Amino acid sequence: MSEPAAIWGDALIAAALAAIDPAASVLLRAAAGPVREQWLDLLRDLTPPSTAIRKLPPSISEDRLLGGLDLAATLQAGRPVLQRGLLAEADGGVLIAVMAERTAPSTTAHLCAALDTGAISIERDGLSLRAPARFGLIALDEGIGDERVSPALADRLACHLDLSTVARADLGESLFKSSDIAAAHALLPRVRLPDEAIEALTTTSLALGIDSLRAPLLACRIARIATALDGAIDVVEAHIACAARLVLAPRATRLPATEDDAETSEAPEPETDSAENEQDDRSHDGPLEDRVLEAAQAAIPADLLKRLQDERAMRTRASSAGRQGHAQKAPKRGRPIGARRGEWRAGARLNVLETLRTAAPWQPLRRRAQRAGKSGRLIVHKDDIRITRFKQRSGTTTIFVVDASGSSALQRLAEVKGAVELLLAECYIRRDEVALIAFRGKDAELLLPPTRSLTRAKRSLAGLPGGGGTPLSAAIFAATELALAVKAKGQAPTIVLMTDGRANVARDGGGRSEAEAEALVAAKQLALTGIPVVLVDSSPRPQDKAAQLAGAMHARYVALPHADATRLSQAVMAQAGR
């Protein structure tokens, strides 16, 4: 049997197990297409008609998810009326989480709590509600690359399936019918799991490097459901191996260690009598946990180690690849992140629904306290006002400050040009901008205002002359002024200062000693702004003056006497991602 066909066979078994018992939740990684739709259709066909199947969108609100005050019914009845949320409505049924990799962290937390306790509890709007929420969860993972479902949620889902390698030609017919599901559901309470099966699954989980204790517990549950699906009440090796393939193998973080060294180091056992030899012949296949481990190992992807290394590398690059701007609060623009109590004044946006929701429970008391002769449908007080909060991402601007003096400039222009080109190539994705300041002679000059234009950057660098003095303080003051202007526009600036730190021209024309003192003052003033800075020591050998300057401005010091454009770009991205 080909590997895609074997994967589809396990997917069919997982669908049947989920139809028997909602506890057999499934994490299905597959793009939208005929393969995933056929699996979902099979799940719907096998699920009993009395079991409700609901969809969970990734952008669901907390009120709809958990429940709360029914505003329309409350206003009509004149008293607080509660409405149940989606989790309570799905009690005894199945939830299908669409685009689960994009589910909000708050939604993930509520899902995990409901899966752990089988109930939801809310205390809000002056009301208290606790409702059962025992449901099965089918998480559809449509992520690309390292985009994955939250590890906390994935840990609570029993069967992990990856149908990304399964084509439409690999699909086969299901061997299960609705009558098989009904019979297995009735037989499941009678199935008992022996101690040796529990020991085998626990040992296999440990050998595969699985740290979570939920994995062997879920594997034991799957083994019992697979036994009921087989029409039996005694769990045998085939059922345990099925649980190992569906639950443990996808969670493996390492390949099981070989026992060749252990076998060679063991001393030969003394000879036994013929009866014991016959017993050894009957158990030549080894203990049960070894056979279960072999079954799980056969289901582990052949490129497990490479995939784990790639995932770690992706996470490392993502953590040091820079920010897509800072998350900042905005009064009118951006993504809504809820409502807060506040005053309705200029620049604030009134949240009408939350305001009415807050005022509704107090209407009976307020009407009784209202003086005669005054009537109104709704009495809203100042404390009921709710203002919508927004959050938006600001763009990132990288300001290159290049030493073009005679001491160090000429040998660094090629690296700066390559780094700017690399940064601009990522601007189309991260919406970053790049600016260029060069200093030489007696002053610093803004050669390139913040831009995403690669052509303008190349033209500015190509026309940059070299030679003259090093007005370092003027460069730092110019970079600080530009960075503050960028920050005032709502963007996140990052300064990259490329110099050897040997200042010799002050802003008033003074000599080396005055220039160095003035550069330290400018560096300390830059540190007070809190703007991230990278100081690249461009001298052939690292200099103490450059390191002292970096310490004064609280900058990241990078000594790159033989830097190339790629290394410089990585250093800038690492500082921007802090």
> Any idea which of 1-10, 178-187, 321-330 has the lowest mean pLDDT?
321-330
pLDDT digits (tens, 9 = 90+) for 453-483: 767 776 776 666 666 778 888 999 999 999 9
Q: What is the pLDDT of residue 157?
A: 93
Distant-in-sequence, close-in-space partners of 563: CB < 8 Å, separation ≥ 6: 415, 536
| φ and ψ at residue 171, rounded to 5 degrees | -75, 140
pLDDT in the model for residue 160:
92
> 3-174 has which CATH code?
3.40.50.300
Residue with tokens 């019979």: 183
pLDDT of residue 396: 80
Average pLDDT over every residue of 3-14: 88
The pLDDT, as a whole number, for residue 482 is 92
The string of pLDDT tens digits covering residues 137-147 is 999 998 876 67
- Name the percent of the chain lying above pLDDT 90: 20
The per-residue pLDDT for range 269-281, each reduced to its tens digit, is 544 444 444 444 4
Average per-residue pLDDT for the chain: 77
Structurally, at CATH architecture level, domain 396-576 sits in 3-Layer(aba) Sandwich (3.40)
Instruction: Judge whether residue 302 has pLDDT over 90.
Output: no
Class of CATH domain 191-253+285-322: mainly alpha
State the pLDDT at residue 44: 92
- For residue range 216-245, what is the model confidence (pLDDT) as tens digits? 999 999 999 999 999 999 998 889 989 988
> Which pLDDT does position 498 carry in this prediction?
81
Which ranges constitute the DSSP H helices of 321-445?
A: 352-359, 363-369, 413-430
Confidence of residue 450 (pLDDT cuts 50, 70, 90): confident
Q: Is the pLDDT of residue 167 over 50?
A: yes
Least confident of 130-134, 415-419, 483-487: 415-419
Radius of gyration of the chain (CA): 33
| pLDDT value at residue 104 | 87
Query: How is residue 490 written in tokens?
Result: 């709502």
Going by DSSP bridges, is the β-strand pair 327-330/159-162 parallel, antiparallel, or unpaired? Answer: unpaired
Phi and psi at residue 146, in whole multiples of 5°?
Answer: -90, 10
Per the model's pLDDT, the better-predicted residue between 347 and 495 turns out to be 495
3-174 matches 191-253+285-322 in fold? no
Residue 556 has pLDDT above 90, yes or no: no
Whether the predicted pLDDT of 250 surpasses 60? yes
Q: Nearest Cα to 501, choosing from 462, 447, 555?
A: 555
In angstroms, what CA-CA distances link 567 with 121, 416, 498, 551? 52, 11, 14, 22
Domain ranges in the chain are 3-174, 191-253+285-322, 328-393, 396-576
- Band of residue 54 on the pLDDT scale cut at 50, 70, 90: very high
Q: How confident is the model at residue 562 (pLDDT cuts 50, 70, 90)?
A: low
Which residue has 């400039």 as its token pair?
409
Averaged over 184-198, what is the pLDDT?
A: 91
Least confident of 1-10, 52-61, 168-177, 369-378: 369-378
| Residue 514 near residue 503, CB atoms below 8 Å | no
Q: Check residue 313 and give its pLDDT.
A: 46
* CB-count exposure of residue 2 (10 Å: 0-12, 13-18, 19+): exposed
List, in sequence order, every beta strand (DSSP E) within 76-148: 82-84, 94-97, 119-124, 127-132, 136-141
Q: Where does the pLDDT of residue 18 fall: very low under 50, low under 70, confident under 90, or very high at 90 and above?
A: very high
Whole-model pTM above 0.95? no
Task: For 510-543, write each residue's pLDDT tens digit.
Answer: 778 888 889 899 999 999 988 888 888 877 677 7
pLDDT top residue among 375 and 136: 136
